[in-house]
Structure 1
Amino acid sequence: MPRAVLIAGTHSGCGKTSLTLGLLRALARRGLRVQPFKSGPDFIDPGLHQAAAGAPSHNLDTWMQPHDALRGLFARHARQADVVLVEGAMGLFDGRSGTDEEGSAAHLAKLLGLPALLVVDARSQARSVSALALGFSRFDSDLRLAGLVLNRVGSARHETLLREALARTPGLPVLGCLARAEAIGLPSRHLGLVTAEDIANGMAGGMAGDASGPERTLDRMLDALADWVEQGMDIPALLDSLPEIDLSGFPDDGAALAAVAGPPVRLAVARDRAFCFCYAENLRLLEAAGAELAFFSPLADAALPEGAQGLYLPGGYPELAARELAANAPMRAAVLEFCRSGRPVWAECGGYMYLLEELADADGAAHPMCGALPGRAVLREKRSALGYRQARTLADGPLGPAGTLLRGHEFHYSEYDGELASPAYALTASDGTQTLDGQAAGNVVGGWFHAHLASNPQAAKAFVQAARNF
């Protein structure tokens, strides 16, 4: 049975991603089979997890995914591991709203029966950290805290003060004290953390605070984080403190995956550094519905995969590659021809931008895109949308009949500039706010909305069946 823990934080930016990546790499260097997961809808952290652990990371979200499907997904991958690390999102108790636990790391930990390891940013405090830890430990009596990891500890004297204060907080062992190490922090941009692909390709400007630039590879950053964690934690003691998780009572998540009868259907799926935001579970559900996935790069390839019967354009950062995407005229023409052929096309966020007529970058320069849908996308300095969404399709299309319900989220800085003559979705936010999103044009559906197909596996079957019927 694997040992498992959820790594949570008091708030965003406290260091839980750096700790998670360093611990994943440190455990992998010991020869352990490590399985990472990510709480919530985030796309970037799972890519970094995979690079650190050498195993694909999967999103677990207690609002987007049915609970049995979520627990089945967890068990399927955890069974192959020696150690399971689940990284939380935001603060431990932050989720879909301010009034309940849905979507929070705490909710996920309880659903899976995992203890939570709480990361505390100890900068500029000493005894006060005890009050903070006490509040977190008592907020939810059904949640077990495995202990604390204190981050950004400034000196040996600072560590002594922190340990003295926390010695008076029973049941909360200090399992690590991590030194301030801004030089190996994760680089970021205004759109968020940079992706694993960008760091690996030397496009992130090196490690934070490091002027050496592109020669700082992703592996070097991960090894530096592992060294940092090794210096501040007793990893064997941590592992000994973690419980073994009995997975025998977890459900089988295969019940909803019965394939549609018929020969395999070839789906072209965009995948490169401009289109890298895609839930692994979405791809698995498409495969289970009978799809054969053929990946291609809108940046580098001149044509779509031969024999493609359907096209899936996930999200990503096309804003940062607009000039290159525009320069690849053969691919833009191929995508436009495919959309006009009547074969099913599904585009999310970055993929939706790619289907529009133009994309205006941060400098205001306009770049031609595929032109399959009218209007243009314009990159803004301020975030345009963020949060969970329930979507209802407004027309019959590749994802099913009008009225099909899906759960997912929105996160984008770009905005649509044009008239929505035929919107694809009616979206409902966590606070009940309703908006129209995207465009539906017969066989083509696109919008800012990122769907998690586990919320409605029938949509995966509908998409594959639409391709089979063409």
Structure 2
Amino acid sequence: MQRRIIVSGTASGVGKTTVTLGLMAALTKQQRIVQGFKCGPDYLDPTFHLAITNRISHQLDSWMLSEEWIKTIFYKHSKDADLSIIEGMMGLFDGHAASNNVGSTYEISQILDAPILLVVDISHCARSAAAIVRGYQLLEEDVNLAGVILNHAGSEGHANLCQEAIEQMCDIPVVGYLKSDDVPVLPERHLGLVSALEQGQHDLLIETLARVVANQFDLAKILDIAQRSTSLKEEKFIFNWPVESRHVRIAVAYDAAFHFYYEENFSLLKKAGAELVLFSPLAGESLPSECDGVYLGGGFPEEYLEPLMKNKKLIADIQKASKDGMPILAECGGYMFLAKEIHVNGKTYPMAGVIPMEVTMQEKLAAIGYREVATVTETIFGKKGTLIRGHEFHYSTSRFIEDVQPAFTYETQNGERHHVGFQSNEVLASYIHLHLASNPEMALAWMETCQQYQLKRENSK
């Protein structure tokens, strides 16, 4: 049986990540094996999980993935852990739409039969905290709310007042609290928390979190709550993919500028016959030799424009690869890197120039939301109309400087049809982070496209 808990909250910004990281740090210091998971499409929080637990954290998204996929991901990565901590997204019931629970943390708790610890911001209330918790208990008939954590308490006495009210009215325990000045504020940038790839500056923060949580949380009770779950059975997926004769090399950009990838995308590509070869554009590295495809993920290219534009060898190699028809998938940050130029604070930075596009960074969020897209024409993923789900979140805007073939089309909630991205000569690029597990056959189609390029490359020697 895998012990598991979900750390959820009443809303975004109530302290879910702070509590999650504190629990991970405190329990890891007890020499326990802690496995992290994240509800929703977020990339940044899992990098913090990795930094603390030394184990890759995995996204669990019930809008992009089926129930079987979620159970498979959880079972596979939690079976050797002492405890799995699943960090929620937004508020407990927030997901794809306001009319149902699809894509919500609540839905993940139902799929995995995972007890929930609800983080409540009590900075402006006392007895009313019980009304908040009671509302979350009653919205659905079977909410597995097992404990409460109080955040932003003015004092220990304030926390005690809220605890008394909650335990009296809601009949569930308060298992910990944080005062407003207990820990430093987690640093943020426009995409959220600063990536844990830069975690060196956060060592003191994590030490402080571990100490405070060990002192102010009932870790024994939390571990007991985590054990109140049914055993999960391993889900079996049979793809019947003939991979024995297929072996292609995919160059994957991976460093502080490009590191937003769904781990399950990597797993599927490997299953389909890919060898993933990581390289760092920021370190001055170019495409690895004998590559048959390129994967440019999202990240923070706008933070590293000087070293990126100075990597002339990579830019030349990317330009040649695109002209030669090498299959290239670029998402968000990778899409920006393929543009002609990026504008930031009045300065212009030339990029790879594969896409006739200008990108401009701005202060306000440009787009956010789930996307179910269809390919507009035949692509590296196969025939026209191939469906795939993903997520879009970015602060930059883009403008094509000549007519292009869009990559995808999707319909908005108000019925508008949008065409987005870029498709040409085996380059498929857009702002959308695609989840291959929403349509696994695309991984196979991409590898078959790479294999065709491989044969062409070998025949030209």
Category of TM-score, reference length = shorter chain = over 0.9
Deviations, residues 391-425 of structure 1 (Å, cap 9, x unaligned): 10111111221111000110011111225521000
Equivalent position of 2:214 in the other structure = 230
What is the CA-CA distance between 1:157 and the residue it aligns to? 2.2
Question: Which residue number corresponds to residue 338 of structure 1?
Answer: 321
- Aligned counterpart, 1:264: 247
Is the Cα–Cα contact under 8 Å of residues 339 and 357 in structure 2 kept in the other structure?
yes
**Structure 1, residues 248-267: CA drift from partner, whole Å, max 9, x if none?**
43412x42474534142110
Q: 1:220 to 1:426 in 2, by over 3 A?
A: same
Q: Does the aligned pair in 2 maintain the 1:387–1:430 contact within 8 Å?
A: no
Aligned mates of 2:261, 2:191 — CA distance in 1: 17
Is 2:194 aligned against 1:194? yes
Q: Please tell me whether residue 90 in structure 1 is matched to residue 90 in structure 2.
A: yes
**Mapping for residues 273-352 of structure 1, pairs under 5 Å:** 273-352=256-335
Residue by residue, what CA displacement relative to the aligned partner does 1:138-177 show, whole Å, maximum 9, x if unpaired? 1111221011000111113212321222232132211112
The structural deviation recorded for 1:281 is: 0.6
Deviations 1:257-278 (A, max 9, x none): 7453414211000001010111
2:397 matched residue in structure 1: 415
Structure-2 separation of matches of 1:155 and 1:258: 59
Equivalent position amino acid for 1:58 in 2: H
Give, in whole Å, the separation in 2 of the partners of 1:374 and 1:58.
35
Q: Structure 1 residues 127 and 431 mapped into 2: Cα distance closer, same or farther (>3 Å)?
A: farther
Other structure's SS at 2:147 match: strand
Structure-2 residue corresponding to 1:156: 156
1:358 aligned residue (329, 341, 354): 341
- The 5 Å alignment of 1:4-83 reads 4-83=4-83
Asked whether the equivalents of residues 115 and 144 of structure 1 are also in contact (C-alpha less than 8 Å), the reply is: yes
- How many residues were matched structurally? 452
Contact map agreement 1:9 1:120 (CA 8 A) in 2: yes
User: Please, which runs of 5 or more residues in structure 1 have no aligned partner?
Assistant: 201-216
**SS at 1:435 equivalent:** strand
- Cα distance in structure 1, aligned partners of 2:348 and 2:240: 43
Partner of 1:111: 111
Q: Which position in structure 2 is the counterpart of 1:174?
A: 174
Offset, 1:103: 0.6
* 423-432 or 400-409, larger mean C-alpha shift: 423-432
CA distance in 2, matches of 1:312, 1:94: 31
Given that 1:75 and 1:247 are in contact with CA atoms closer than 8 Å, whether structure 2 keeps it comes out as no
What is the CA-CA distance between 1:364 and the residue it aligns to? 2.1
Give the corresponding residue for 2:225: 241
Task: Tell me the SS of whatever aligns to 1:77.
Answer: helix
CA distance in 1: counterparts of 2:182 and 2:248, whole angstroms: 48
Counterpart AA for 1:20: T
Structure 1 counterpart of 2:458:
none
Q: Please give the alpha-carbon distance, in whole angstroms, between the structure 1 residues aligned to 2:285 and 2:233.
A: 49
The amino acid across from 2:175 in the alignment is L
Q: For the structure 1 residues 229 and 345, does the alpha-carbon distance in structure 2 shift closer, same or farther, using more than 3 Å as the test?
A: same
1:432 CA drift (Å): 4.2
- 1: CA distance between counterparts of 2:178 and 2:417? 44
SS at match of 2:299: coil
Partner residue in 2 for 1:448: 431
- Which amino acid in 1 is paired with 2:161? L
Q: CA deviation at 1:294?
A: 0.2
Change (3 A) 1:431 1:53: farther
Offset at residue 75 of structure 1 (A): 0.9
TM-score of the two chains, using structure 2 as the length reference:
0.95
Deviations 1:274-314 (A, max 9, x none): 10111111011101100000000111133211111100101
Contact 1:260 1:465 in 2 (8 A): no
Q: 1:404 maps to which residue?
A: 386
Quote the offset at 1:329 in angstroms. Answer: 1.4
Relative distance call for 1:76 and 1:257 in structure 2 (3 A) is farther
Match of 1:167, SS?
helix
Unpaired segments ≥5 residues, structure 2: 454-461
RMSD: 1.5
* Contact kept in structure 2, 1:437 and 1:449, CA below 8 Å: no
Pair 53,343 (structure 1): closer, same or farther in 2 beyond 3 Å: same
C-alpha contact (below 8 Å) 1:408/1:451 kept by paired residues? yes
1: CA distance between counterparts of 2:175 and 2:416? Answer: 43
Residue equivalent to 1:220? 204
Give a deviation string over 1:32-54, Cα, whole Å, max 9, x none: 11111000000101111111111
Q: Distance between the aligned counterparts of 2:416 and 2:204, measured in 1?
A: 44
1:435 CA drift (Å): 1.3
Structure-2 separation of matches of 1:249 and 1:263:
31
Return the offset for 1:247.
3.9
Specify the alignment match of 2:444 in structure 1: 461
- When structure 1 is superposed on structure 2, of 262-271 and 155-164 the one drifting more is 155-164
The amino acid across from 1:370 in the alignment is: A
- 8 A Cα contact 2:183 2:205, kept in partner: no
Query: Could you report, residue by residue, the CA deviation over 1:413-445 in whole angstroms, capped at 9, with x for unpaired residues?
Result: 111122552100002345544311111002111
Answer yes or no: is 1:133 the counterpart of 2:133: yes
Equivalent position amino acid for 2:8 in 1: A
CA 1:259/1:432 → structure 2, altered by over 3 Å: closer, same or farther? farther
- AA in 2 matched with 1:95: G
Residue 461 of structure 1 aligns to a residue whose secondary structure is helix
Say which SS state the counterpart of residue 371 (structure 2) adopts: strand
Contact 1:2/1:244, CA 8 A, preserved across alignment = no
Please report how far the alpha carbon of residue 191 of structure 1 lies from its aligned counterpart in structure 2 after TM superposition: 3.1
Give the C-alpha shift of residue 10 in structure 1: 0.3
CA–CA separation in structure 1 for the residues paired with 2:354 and 2:215: 54
Asked if residue 372 in structure 1 is aligned to residue 354 in structure 2, the reply is: yes
Distance 1:355 1:263, change over 3 A: same
Q: 2:115·2:229 contact (CA, 8 Å) conserved in 1?
A: no
